[in-house]
Amino acid sequence: MEVRISLDTREIRDSFLALRREGPKAIAEAINKCMFEARLDVQTEIRGAFLFSGGPGGSTEKFLTNSVLFQPATATKLVGDMYIRRGARVILDRQEAGASIVATDPRVGPEWEGKIAVPNLAVVKRGRSGRILGTDTPKALLMRRVKGRTRGYLARGKIIKRVKGTGGSLAFALVDRAKLKPRFDFFGTVQRAVKREFPRKAHRVLEKINLRRGR
């Protein structure tokens, strides 16, 4: 007595052929869809981390958010690279890692006589670009004269802006060093988006492949 079991492997073979042929393209598509979602998350992170002088949609916000880009994956290179353009990276790198800033730093912003001038944004006016208006810089307040007197004065390590009807308002605090706290998490944001999005994006594109059709 003998029982012989045979298996028709044609469907299995054809399924593997279909997966081999269409799988890399599908996975590349999943990676790119995932990177697109991660880019949106990073842009949202930027909008939440900074107070833009021009309000929502201002030029500084657009500059930073539009600088978040990614190099798409392909069927022959299943890797997507997300990056930030160089100009914006100069700003965002320090916002991510944190930094200790001194007045000699060329990117520090306003300074006065070797000290960092930390602006009081409730008093100091900024344009849509985020830069302090020329009329409100430390030099403008302390050096330019209007009707015989300056628009501001020094008082115990502070620059006071003259305000009509008051003794003046704090415009800048002068400090030797300032600590910039981390407030932008680029890598963490991308990592969380990938973990959240890739499984379902991959599942959706792979289920479109007809694994029973070899040709």
Overall average pLDDT of the 123-132 stretch = 77
Domains of the chain, residue spans: 10-98+181-206, 101-179
DSSP element (H, E) containing 43: helix 10-49
Strands (E), 104-180: 111-112, 115-119, 145-146, 149-150, 152-154, 158-161, 169-175, 177-180
Burial of 5 (0-12, 13-18, 19+ CB in 10 A): exposed
Beta-strand ranges (E) seen in 17-163 are 68-71, 81-84, 99-102, 111-112, 115-119, 145-146, 149-150, 152-154, 158-161
State how far Cα 96 lies from the chain centre.
9
Torsion of CA 95, 96, 99, 103, to 10 degrees: -20
Phi then psi for residue 80, to 5 deg, are -110, 135
Is the pLDDT at 63 greater than 50? The verdict is yes
Residue 26 CA to residue 21 CA, distance in Å, equals: 10
| Torsion from C-alpha of 51, 55, 60, 61, nearest 10 degrees | 80
pLDDT score, position 214 = 44
pLDDT at 120: 87
Mean pLDDT of 178-199: 89
- Is residue 215 a contact partner of residue 14, using CB atoms and an 8 Å limit? yes
Q: What is the structure's pLDDT at 8? A: 66
pLDDT score at 215 = 45
Q: What pLDDT is attached to residue 32?
A: 96
- The pLDDT of residue 1 is 66
The answer to whether the CB of 39 falls within 8 A of the CB of 46 is no
User: How much of the chain, in percent, has pLDDT values that exceed 70?
Assistant: 83
Are 74 and 28 in contact, with CB atoms under 8 Å apart?
A: yes
Stronger pLDDT, 51 or 199, i.e. the higher one: 199
Q: Residue 40 has what pLDDT? A: 96
Q: Strand pairing of 177-180 and 111-112?
A: unpaired
Find all residues with CB under 8 Å of 83, minimum gap 6, and list them.
Answer: 69, 70, 71
DSSP-assigned letter for residue 179: E
Average the pLDDT over 73-101 and give the result.
Answer: 87
